[in-house]
Amino acid sequence: MSDHKIIIITAPSGAGKTSITRYLLEKYPHNLAFSVSAATRNPRSYEKDGMDYYFLTLESFKQKIQHNAFVEWEMVYEGKYYGTLKSELERIWQAGKTPLLDIEVKGAIHIREQYPESTLALFIEPPSVDELRRRLEMRGTETIESLMARVNKASYEISFKHHFDRIIVNDDLQKACREAEAAVTAFLGMGQIPR
Ligand code: 5GP
């Protein structure tokens, strides 16, 4: 496993890491593949099992913990578990690609500690916590309670930003995408594509 590379995009929820992840996947489809996590929350209307997440029951998630099937897992929200399956990373490496993980801060730190030499971990920082709240409200996927939980958690998560290889402030999405791209291409030894 240590020869294989891992790229992690982490951030508080709503900081724009999903947009940056999508940008990188679209730009480098032959080099990168999205690491589909396992999760116990309910799918959103537009989400597909096996594409966005492997949606599991709590029971089967706990079974996988017992069978040591995860590289990392976290209870990200009260009673809601998320985790990166070893089998998912293997699947992507077998295809000759580098897995791109969109995961929360603790899980990202956990993977980076296990594979310090082979992991690139980028922290996407929102311009401010107020802006983060505004973005989550606009996204419209949260109840008031879950929105407040995400905003409170964000302040705490930002305090861990110095654990990562690069901090990218997302005050301008295009600029943030380009910064992430430069870090990824350097890490993969690809050199920058001229534009
Ligand atoms: P959402 O419910 O909005 O899809 O995701 C909630 C949070 O869980 C996001 O910050 C997302 O990046 C994170 N997440 C998704 N998959 C994983 C995972 O496998 N492990 C960890 N630790 N966090 C994850």
**Using a 6 Å CB cutoff, which residues line ligand 1?**
13, 37, 41, 72, 74, 76, 82-84, 102-104, 107
Per the domain annotation, does 102 fall within a domain?
A: yes
Per the domain annotation, does 80 fall within a domain?
A: yes
Contact 65, 73 (CB under 8 A): yes
Per the domain annotation, does 12 fall within a domain?
A: yes
Lowest mean pLDDT among 1-15, 61-75, 132-146, 149-163: 1-15
Q: Which domain holds residue 178?
A: 6-187
7 CA to centre of ligand 1 in angstroms: 15
Give how far Cα 44 sits from Cα of 40, 54, 88, 120, 167, Å: 12, 13, 22, 29, 29
Per the domain annotation, does 145 fall within a domain?
A: yes
Q: Tell me: pLDDT of 1 over 60.
A: no
* Count of domains observed in the chain: 1
Cα(179)–Cα(168) distance, integer angstroms? 7
pLDDT at 193: 55
* Atom 24 (ligand 1) nearest CA: 103
Per the domain annotation, does 194 fall within a domain?
A: no
Q: Read off the CATH number of the domain in which 111 is found.
A: 3.40.50.300
